[in-house]
Structure formats: C-alpha cells, structure tokens
Homo-oligomer: A and B are copies of this chain.
Amino acid sequence: MRNERNHDELRPVEIVPHVNKHAEGSILISIGDTKVICTATVEERVPNFLRGKKQGWINAEYAMLPRATGNRTVRESVRGKQSGRTMEIQRLISRSLRSVVDLERLGERTIWIDCDVIQADGGTRTASITGGFCALVLAVDALIRQGKLDDTPIKEGVAAISVGRTDELLLDLNYEEDAAAEVDMNVVMTASGRFVEVQGTGEEATFTLLEMNEMLHMAQSGIETLFKAAEDALGASWWYVGEQLEETT
C-alpha cells in the first residue's frame, strides 16, 4: 500500500468544469497532486493539408509551467523550441482524441486542446488525455447549443492512465513511483473497453507478455473509474458523448 492506497487503486480524482471564461470548453483535472488545465478552442478553419476535404481536425498542445516540477524547468519559449518529450506527448494526446471523433461530422473546423500542467506529480500526459477529452465534450456541447452542430461527432468516451512495475505492478504512478519504475506503460482506452494507444516501455529493463496483459487489465479498471468521475463532473454535457447518448435515446 502506498500513501494509504492499494497497488491497483487510483489517486483521488477531481474534475472541475468551466474554469476559463473565454474558452469554448475548459476543465481543471486533478489526479493526486497532478493538476492540468485543459481548454478547448473552436477555430472555424482547418489546417492547410485538409482544405477542401470536408472534415475537421483536432490538435492538442501540452506544456508545463516552469515551477510545475520539483526543480524549475526552463521555459520552452526561452530555449526557442519545444522539447522532444513535449512533441511526443502532444502527438499522443492529439491521436487519442481524434480516435473517438468522427472528423467528417465535426465539419470544417479545428478544435485546439491546450493542456497546461499547473502542478506535476506523475501521469501528466494521461491526465491531459482524460481532461482534454472532457474539455472537448464541453466545446461540442457549446457548438450544439449555438446551432453550429446538429449532433455530436464524438463516437464514445476516451481516457488514459499509467501502469508500471517496481517491486509489484502499480496503477497510476506518482512522480516518485514513476522514477523508480523499471517498466512504464501508458494506456488509452475507450468507454467500450477498446484500446486506442498502448505504449509500454522498459526503462533499461524488459517485460513479458504475461506482465503486459496484467498491466492492461489494471489500466482498464482504473480507466473505468475515470469515466465515472468525468460523467459526474460534466453532468448534462456528458450526453454529448456519442455511445451513451445513443443508448438512452
């Protein structure tokens, strides 16, 4: 047991919607001491490579405040470029959110998801996916209320969590646990229990098929908890998440 939690238990999750008065959708997600502000911005145009293709796009960006971390990190704007880590995370969040959206039904518009880590304690990329999805739901909600969309283009929910191996398998690693882990796995899953992304990494170590399957099960149970938290937080807006919606109609 770590910090009074079981090895397969999530840290406390809190999702607060509408934290920004400007953004079409916004939430503050806290998982343990990791806190991320996620905003969704609707832009009524698509990137050049999609012009005239009658579909929309979703693009995520990720950053950390300099003192989100134990030691102050130099700003990427000062260093003049985004790090490889930042770009890798942005690509992961973007792909994950696009996997559950029908981009044609979204129409020729881009939704920008900005994930800014206010305080970091492990699992910032997975919290960004879960929180980014919630902000996306709120932005779609707004588009529907404004009459710009008739129906939701979101096919189903998506959320993410990390699992790792130290002495034992652990769910939802905090910073300290993550630093100690030999194997680290990020799992992105839909509400219907299908995988969107599985990224398992042996940090100067290796892992077996058996371990991998155990970790995936542990992740699935954690992700189900995240979906409950999201549903509670978003309330009526949650209805704009496709599958659930269809069931009830």
How many copies of the polypeptide does the oligomer hold?
A: 6
> Whole-angstrom distance from the CB of A10 to the nearest CB of chain B?
19
For the complex, is A143 an interface residue (Cβ under 8 Å from B)? no
For the complex, is A78 an interface residue (Cβ under 8 Å from B)? yes
Given contacts A61-B66, A67-B23, A119-B21, contact A95 B197 (CB under 8 A): no
A33 to B67, CA, bound (A): 23
Interface size class of A (residues with CB under 8 A): 35 or more
Mark out the residues of chain A between 195 and 249 whose CB falls within 8 Å of any chain B CB in the assembled complex. 195-209, 212-213, 216
A228 to B17, CA, bound (A): 32
For the complex, is A128 an interface residue (Cβ under 8 Å from B)? no
For the complex, is A147 an interface residue (Cβ under 8 Å from B)? no
For the complex, is A70 an interface residue (Cβ under 8 Å from B)? yes
For the complex, is A88 an interface residue (Cβ under 8 Å from B)? yes
> Whole-angstrom distance from the CB of A215 to the nearest CB of chain B?
10
**Interface-centre pick from A67, A200, A209 (highest chain B CB count, 10 A):** A67
Contact of A190 with B213 in the complex, beta carbons under 8 Å:
no
Nearest chain-B residue to A206 (Cβ)? B194
Given contacts A77-B82, A99-B202, A119-B20, contact A195 B208 (CB under 8 A): yes
Contact of A82 with B88 in the complex, beta carbons under 8 Å:
no
Given contacts A195-B208, A202-B196, A205-B99, contact A118 B37 (CB under 8 A): yes
For the complex, is A2 an interface residue (Cβ under 8 Å from B)? no
A-B contact pairs, 10 of them (CB 8 A): A22-B67, A22-B68, A22-B69, A26-B67, A61-B75, A95-B203, A194-B206, A195-B200, A196-B202, A209-B216
